């Protein structure tokens, strides 16, 4: 198998992982989001996107991605200084529900970008 074929075939499991991760994100957004948001009482970002029972699942997943950016990126914490204390008090038992799906999404998107770049460089389109 050549490297070109390997790059092309690697898109299949990455796409499958991306959609499985989105299903996991939907589970977390449905059953854990209210508990996760309760640990960010001072954050303006989280307060502006509080959980509502009528919110569609895709918007709940977006709220979870917003919460993922607070513990991961320090620049987001600097934009919202009260959230710095909230991030320090965020429990480990809930941190994995937020951080792991965010990292999996980031890896899938970066790998898809690498495949797209490879297709562009090789001129396969």
Show the tokens assigned to 62: 């977006």
pLDDT in 10s for each residue of the chain, 125 residues:
888 888 888 889 999 999 999 999 889 988 888 888 888 888 887 877 776 667 787 778 888 888 888 888 888 788 888 888 888 888 989 988 988 988 999 999 999 999 999 989 988 87
Q: Give the length of the chain.
A: 125
Number of neighbours of residue 61 by Cβ within 10 angstroms:
20
Q: pTM for the complete prediction?
A: 0.77
- State whether the Cα torsion 75-77-79-81 is positive or negative: negative
């Amino acid at each position: 198998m050549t490297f070109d074929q390997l790059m092309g075939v690697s898109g299949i499991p990455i796409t499958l992982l991306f959609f499985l991760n989105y299903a996991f994100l939907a589970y977390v957004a449905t059953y854990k989001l209210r508990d996760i948001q309760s640990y960010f009482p001072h954050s303006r970002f989280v307060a502006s996107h509080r959980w509502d029972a009528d919110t569609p699942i895709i918007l709940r997943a977006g709220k979870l991605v917003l919460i993922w950016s607070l513990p991961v990126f320090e620049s987001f914490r600097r934009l919202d200084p009260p959230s710095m204390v909230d991030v320090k008090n965020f429990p480990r038992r809930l941190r994995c529900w937020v951080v792991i799906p965010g990292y999996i999404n980031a890896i899938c998107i970066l790998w898809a970008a690498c495949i797209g770049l490879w297709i562009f460089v090789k001129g396969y389109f």
